[in-house]
Amino acid sequence: MKGEKGKKPKNEFLYFAWRNWKLRLGLAIVLFFVVLAIVGPRLTPHQPWAYVGPPARPPSKEFWFGTTMFGQDVFTQFVYGLYPVFLVGALGGGLATLIGTAIGFTAGYRGGWVDEILNTFTNVVLVIPTLALLLIIAAYLGVRSFFIQAVFIGCTAWPWTARAVRAQTLSLKAREFVDLARISAARPTKIILTEIAPNMLSYLVMVFILQFGGAILNAATLDFIGLGPTRGISLGLMMQMALLWGALPLGLWWWFVPPGLAIALLVGALYITNVGLDEIFNPKLREM
Amino acid sequence: MRGKWWVVLGLLVLGVGVALGQEFPRQETLYISGAAWGPPTDWNPFITWSKANTSGTVGLIYEPLFFYDPLKDTLIPWLAEYGQWKTDQLFEVKLREGLTWQDGKPLTAADVVFTFELGKKYSTIYYSPMWDYLASVVNVGDYYVEFSFKRKPLYQEFVNNLYNIAIVPKHIWETRTEEEITSGANANPIGSGSYKYFAHGPDRNVYIRNEEWWGIKLLGLKPAPKYIVEIRFATNNLALGALLKGEIDLSNNFLPGIATLAKLGYVKTYLPEPPYMLSANTAVLFLNTTKKPLNDPAFRKALAYAINVDAIIERAFAGLVAKASPTALLPHLAKYVDDELVAQLGFTYDPAKAKAILAVAGYKDIDGDGLVEAPDGSKIYLEVTCPFGWTDWMEAIRVISESAQAAGINVVHRYPDYGAWNTALVTGTFDMTLNNWASLSNTPWTVYNLLFNHPIRDVMGSGNFGRYNNPEVFALVDELAATPPWDAEGVKAVCAKIQEILLTDLPMIPLWYNGLWAQYVEFTWTNFPGAYGGRPHWLPCTWAGYWQMGGFHTLCELKPAQ
Amino acid sequence: MQRYLAQKLTIYILTFFLAVTIDWIIPRFMPGNPVQTMLSRAALRAEAVEVMRGYYLRAFGLDVPVWQQYLNFWKAVFHGDLGVSVYLFPKPVIRVIAEAIPYTLAILVPAIVLSWIAGNKFGAFAARRRWLDNTVLPLGYFLTATPYMWLGILLAWGFGVGLGWFPIAGGYSFAMTPHLSWKFVLDLLWHWFLPFVSLFLVMFGGWAIGMRNMIIYELEADYVQYLESLGAPRKLIRRYAFRNAVLPQITGLALQIGTIAAGAVVTETVFSYPGIGKLLVEAIQNQDYFLIQGCFLFIIIGVLLANLIVDIAYLIVDPRTRRGMVGEI
């Protein structure tokens, strides 16, 4: 994600934001799922694991998404499963953004040996395959929660962010306004807060969105392998249960299609939002 | 494209070095699944815990002296022509004449003596405890073996061993070291059995019929399939899909939804109506009797009344299992159940009674959250566990926690990973957990030895996980082990005493019989066992230890479909 | 160029050192004890337990001081001796892994290479072609956002269960044993197809999108505007843009390799494909520390090698790095 960034008048931003269909589409989908995650549990009288109907029924008026092999309501599991998606996405993605930004920024801004060490560290962690590491960490813990999962995902997903933020910082540091501030003997924190940070904000928003999506996918993978949280419900867990319980050969498509579709739609929408934002922040990319 | 060359290269790598290979003709091959939980690793009959993955090692490749038919509760002479108690401390076995190993050498009494003496020589052989009471095993000529005992033997264990210990060829094993014998892979096994090892892969075992097998002449038996391919499916749904398509003939997996398919006639099962399956073992809820409030018999009793077993059977097993006798004995051992005692002390699902028992014992809901507190006012919090991924049990403990909550007992279900679960189980750090490690056998001693395993040690690896410490019942279990098999009344009397303690104290709660999962389709092979329509009566099971309990006879009854 | 390579190699060596150390720590800090697990399986009497404990300690190399275990582990790594599997006892870990590696490579390498080439071509083609761009873009994002296992499940359901065209499990037919014949090779390919396609599709979406975005950046660059003002043909401009856009895509490949490895793990799980990924999951489920250790090591080595190959590719493609003009990417 490279590109020129500069301050834009607010109204211009909103104007382009509204005109950008990618942003509109992306945000609409994300918003839809947010609303569903909040309202959903209120729409259903059931609990996600409760046995409420006949087993293995296709979608009907009574059970919107059908029922599982045990007669649990798939719709209920689905809407309850959305909440942890956002929790892990926001927490894991947020943490990864935070760590990545802190490390990348420090490295880029301080330079010298600090940069050498941090950059080497980043590159090393970058090469280590995250999922293999996550699998092993997850296996350490006999009992796991969504919170722990999010923290671990956050702690392993930051390296590319650090690298990108470092590059951004380096390029910003070289700009005239920072030099001006430095000549005027401003303190480093002040330079960072007033000059560099605002210029990076738009960039960080986009990084966060990508991390958010990545955390969701990572969490779903862990859940699916059986190393997700040991309590509660999530979309990845639904897919795992469906596979374990013969939804494939028995043709219970309503059990495994919704959770995967929701993840793909949600994460896809996040990515599209990101492109939209990129186009807004970076006028050159707008369609002619 | 460059990519394609990689593919070709990859495939070449796969192909090279594997000289032996062929395709099995469908009409001569029996495809089965359900025994293995991991890739095949060894064909060593002395490593018992891995035999599930090469279940044919004992029964198909190696053979014991006897087979056992649980449906009729009789021993079937196998390598032995007969066995008889000459006195109550001397057992004589007469071998059949004309037995051979798969390499053509004769199988004689010397091989039997060698096999049993391994247990005397090495304490690491699983049956070495026999030698506590065994004085000697000697051969008289080529066909007679005499087992003499120092004192009254543990008859129940001894008989069990007769149909479980696989006889190995002396001329191959006598040069091996202890380490090779107790932990070697024993690749390319040479046994005496009806099938030979043919090939294996991470997800399969292949056996080929031994056309020179002694039993064809001496027993007049010949198994129908030339090849047996045993497949390990990663998930049950794959086994189900393969079964419905006729890619496998016999599945011993637990398959959800099989009740519906059996009703519609897509698959055949042993029983024509619910529970469709025979019973294989008892699922027992072990309670940690060293923890409060599980150390209180009244509390445990309330718990027993609170658990809705019918709901477990319906939801977790879709009606494929039957409720267990409160005595934990399997149906084929029903003659050892004291019915009067059960009528008097047995428990059933009755939440009102559970609440009443709790109230009398001083467990009351003080803070008004609908859950009782202990008599000393402390809150109760108990976890019921089973390993993550054991799907039927996961559903079962969900029902347990729900029904306990409904009766006012704060029980929560948890699914730790297998390793964590196992550690908690054997070290006694769990609260409540399910276990069924007593396999189908000829004696009630097997299950009572699981329930009341003793003495209490730091690591309880083979039973009594809840560390119930009652010398009285331990003595009774020892007495049961030493009761001779011909003394049915004696066995029943000891069982009754054990059952009385079990039902009064309820240190653990027997819940349901786990099924002998077996479903078959008859596209390629017909005449699978069943309790109806003139079908043969054998256990249609290919799990480790079940080949000699009906699995092999099932093979002999099969007929090709035309 | 030397500086560039030296820098890269330092990082890889450091990573390798760190990874092997983490790898060594795994079995020693995990809950539960492999020897105890082995012993509790066998249910032996007390004196036999001690004898067996001795065996296992020796078999797993746990009978020497910790520092020596660490040194031994390094020695073992270079000798390819990764100990004995607990889950598959007494099979050596290295042999278990050697059997699984061809399968993983067979789906991963073609999927990566083909999806990268096809995705780049397609992305470049779609960029700035309005109708194509507007339909393909959301689809591409959807594909790349699809969890690997879900696409796998859908393919297995559609082409395996529904249409019955492809098998949904295993590396080759249950009716065969491995041997060299066309029939067997075809059988392998038949089982290989769905796992390959599901990996390919997800990656394809990602590369197509990446390339499309890069091309758009490039088309806005000053040199393009300069060329346009000179009246250069559109085709030529696009070719230049493509050449420049490929470079970040190569870097992207290096960044993605870890994620791709993760995708292979779940895809193999869905299709029960007997590769390293499935092995790793089984090893974790069975708490087979030494097998986990071995799988992790091989994944690390694979990822490092892939990175190295990408770096070399980058050197070849980008003349500036060759001349030492770029210190770091």
- Poorest-pLDDT segment among B185-194, B262-271, B447-456, C135-144: C135-144
Helical packing angle, C66-79 and C2-29, nearest 10°: 130
Contacts of A135 in chain C (CB under 8 A): 265, 280-281, 284
A7 falls within a domain: no
Which helix (H) or strand (E) segment holds residue B282: the answer is strand B278-287
Tell me if C110 and B419 make a contact (CB, 8 A cut-off).
no
How far, in whole angstroms, is CA B275 from its chain's centroid? 19
Q: How confident is the model at residue C269 (pLDDT cuts 50, 70, 90)?
A: confident
B147 HSE (CA, 13 A, CB side): 27
Distance, CA of C160 to CA of A201 (rounded, Å): 48
Nearest neighbour of A70 by CB, restricted to B237, B315, B419: B315
Tell me if A213 and C145 make a contact (CB, 8 A cut-off).
yes
What's A92's domain CATH number? 1.10.3720.10
A49 falls within a domain: yes
How far, in whole angstroms, is CA C76 from its chain's centroid? 24
Can you give the pLDDT at residue C45? 58
Segments making up each domain of chain C, as ranges: 2-31+82-322
Asked if the C-beta of A142 comes within 8 angstroms of chain B's C-beta atoms, the answer is yes
Asked if the C-beta of B13 comes within 8 angstroms of chain C's C-beta atoms, the answer is yes
Can you give the pLDDT at residue C43? 56
Q: Find the closest chain B residue to C269 by CA distance.
A: B234
Contacts of C148 in chain A (CB under 8 A): 221
Tokens of B241: 């899909």
Distance, CA of B119 to CA of B108 (rounded, Å): 19
Which of the pair, C34 or A44, is modelled with greater confidence? Answer: A44
Tell me if A70 and B415 make a contact (CB, 8 A cut-off).
no
Interface test with B, best of C95, C157, C180 (most B CBs within 10 A): C180
Helix (H, G, I), strand (E, B) or coil at B321: coil
Can you give the pLDDT at residue C326? 45
- Poorest-pLDDT segment among A80-89, B301-310, B549-558, C14-23: C14-23
Q: How far apart are the first and last CA of chain C?
A: 12
A205 falls within a domain: yes
Interface test with B, best of A46, A57, A67, A70 (most B CBs within 10 A): A70
Closest CA of chain C from A188, distance in Å = 26
Tell me if B419 and C45 make a contact (CB, 8 A cut-off).
no
Contacts of C220 in chain A (CB under 8 A): 284-285
Nearest neighbour of A135 by CB, restricted to C15, C154, C280: C280
The per-residue pLDDT for range C176-196, each reduced to its tens digit, is: 777 778 888 888 889 999 999
Could you give the residue ranges of the DSSP H alpha helices within B51-136? Answer: 109-121
Can you give the pLDDT at residue C192? 92
- Compute the average pLDDT of residues C8-23: 85
Tell me if B315 and A49 make a contact (CB, 8 A cut-off).
no
Q: Helices (H), strands (E): how many in chain C?
A: 13, 0
Identify the burial level of C118 via C-beta atoms within 10 angstroms of its C-beta, where 0-12 means exposed, 13-18 middle and 19 or more buried. middle
Can you give the pLDDT at residue B19? 36
A145 falls within a domain: yes
Tell me if B123 and C87 make a contact (CB, 8 A cut-off).
no
Asked if the C-beta of A260 comes within 8 angstroms of chain C's C-beta atoms, the answer is yes
Q: Which C positions 79-138 lie with beta carbon below 8 A of chain B?
A: 85, 87-91, 99-100, 102-103, 105-106, 109-110, 113-114, 117
Percent of chain A with pLDDT over 90: 22
- Compute the average pLDDT of residues C150-175: 85
A4 falls within a domain: no
Q: Which C positions 103-162 lie with beta carbon below 8 A of chain A?
A: 130, 137-138, 141-142, 144-151, 153-154, 156-157, 160-162
A94 falls within a domain: yes
Closest CA of chain B from A208, distance in Å = 33
Asked if the C-beta of B188 comes within 8 angstroms of chain C's C-beta atoms, the answer is no
Interface test with A, best of C153, C219, C300 (most A CBs within 10 A): C153
Q: Which C positions 47-86 lie with beta carbon below 8 A of chain B?
A: 47-48, 51-52, 55, 59, 85
- Compute the average pLDDT of residues B236-245: 83
Distance, CA of C139 to CA of C141 (rounded, Å): 5
Tell me if C137 and A272 make a contact (CB, 8 A cut-off).
yes
The per-residue pLDDT for range C270-315, each reduced to its tens digit, is: 888 889 988 888 887 777 778 888 888 888 888 888 888 888 888 7
B278 HSE (CA, 13 A, CB side): 20
Tell me if A243 and C153 make a contact (CB, 8 A cut-off).
yes
Query: What global pTM score does this model have?
Result: 0.79
CATH superfamily of C2-31+82-322: MetI-like (1.10.3720.10)
Closest CA of chain C from B203, distance in Å = 8
Distance, CA of A233 to CA of A146 (rounded, Å): 10
Q: Find the closest chain C residue to B119 by CA distance.
A: C48
Closest CA of chain B from A215, distance in Å = 23
- Poorest-pLDDT segment among B61-75, B175-189, B379-393, B547-561: B379-393
- Compute the average pLDDT of residues B94-118: 96
The per-residue pLDDT for range A69-82, each reduced to its tens digit, is: 778 889 999 999 99
How far, in whole angstroms, is CA C217 from its chain's centroid? 29
Cβ contacts below 8 Å, chain B against chain C, sum to 170
Q: Which C positions 304-323 lie with beta carbon below 8 A of chain A?
A: 304, 307
Q: Residue C89 carries which DSSP code? A: T
Tell me if A251 and C209 make a contact (CB, 8 A cut-off).
no
A5 falls within a domain: no
Can you give the pLDDT at residue B370? 87
Tokens of C117: 């080439």
Closest CA of chain B from C297, distance in Å = 21
Distance, CA of A232 to CA of A34 (rounded, Å): 19
ipTM above 0.85, yes or no: no
Contacts of B416 in chain A (CB under 8 A): 142-143, 230
Closest CA of chain C from B183, distance in Å = 7
Interface test with A, best of C37, C148, C149 (most A CBs within 10 A): C149
Q: Residue C30 carries which DSSP code? A: S
The per-residue pLDDT for range C101-131, each reduced to its tens digit, is: 999 999 999 999 999 999 988 888 887 777 7
Q: How confident is the model at residue A227 (pLDDT cuts 50, 70, 90)?
A: confident
Calculate the dihedral angle through the C-alpha atoms of C2, C6, C9, C11, rounding to the nearest 10 degrees. -140
Task: Report the domain count for chain A.
Answer: 1
Asked if the C-beta of A140 comes within 8 angstroms of chain B's C-beta atoms, the answer is no
A2 falls within a domain: no
Interface test with B, best of A72, A144, A230 (most B CBs within 10 A): A230
Q: Could you list the residue range(s) of the whole structural domain that residue A149 is in?
A: 12-285
Tell me if C178 and B184 make a contact (CB, 8 A cut-off).
no
Q: How confident is the model at residue A43 (pLDDT cuts 50, 70, 90)?
A: confident
Tell me if A244 and B389 make a contact (CB, 8 A cut-off).
yes
Chains that touch B (3 or more CB pairs under 8 A): A, C
CB B275 within 8 A of CB B320: yes
- Compute the average pLDDT of residues B85-108: 94
The per-residue pLDDT for range A93-114, each reduced to its tens digit, is: 999 999 999 999 888 888 888 8
- Compute the average pLDDT of residues B427-437: 92
Per-residue pLDDT at B6 exceeds 60: no
Helix (H, G, I), strand (E, B) or coil at B181: helix
Tell me if C145 and A239 make a contact (CB, 8 A cut-off).
no
Tokens of C7: 């820098």
Interface test with C, best of B5, B7, B18 (most C CBs within 10 A): B7
Nearest neighbour of A127 by CB, restricted to C15, C213, C296: C15
Chains that touch C (3 or more CB pairs under 8 A): A, B
Distance, CA of A1 to CA of A204 (rounded, Å): 11
Tokens of C228: 């346009």
Can you give the pLDDT at residue B2? 45
